[in-house]
């Protein structure tokens, strides 16, 4: 596993805030809080939107039917680790 990159993590958080018009700032997103439900409060449509912008920005594939999605999108930290490992851009 790649060590979490704070610059990449902030970039991903900013992408999420912009794509979803969140009422928070990228720096206020707790990297270890859940993205779903009680954490950031995202739903499945939000996650699809995030997957789309991340795929475009970093040149990686996030498949809707992947069994890993729950783990990948469980927190900003996990999402950043996944992007750092799989990005092509």
The DSSP letter of residue 65 is T
Q: List, in order, residues 6 or more apart from 17 with CB less than 8 Å away.
A: 24, 25, 26, 29
Contact by Cβ (8 Å): 51, 79: no
Which of the four pLDDT bands, split at 50, 70 and 90, describes residue 45? very high
- The CATH number linked to 80 is 1.10.1200.10
Q: How far apart are CA 38 and CA 40, in angstroms?
A: 6
The fraction of the chain above a pLDDT of 90, given in percent, is 74
pLDDT band, residue 1 (cuts 50/70/90): very low
Inside any domain, residue 1? no
Q: Number of folded domains in the chain?
A: 1
Range of the domain at 26: 6-86
């Amino acid at each position: 596993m790649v060590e979490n990159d704070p610059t990449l993590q902030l970039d991903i958080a900013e992408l999420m805030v912009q794509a979803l018009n969140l009422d928070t700032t990228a720096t206020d997103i707790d990297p270890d809080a859940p993205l779903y439900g009680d954490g950031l409060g995202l739903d499945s449509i939000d996650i699809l939107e995030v997957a789309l912008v991340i795929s475009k920005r970093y040149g990686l594939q996030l498949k809707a039917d992947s069994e890993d999605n729950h783990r990948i999108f469980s927190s900003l930290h996990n999402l950043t680790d996944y992007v750092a490992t799989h990005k092509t851009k």
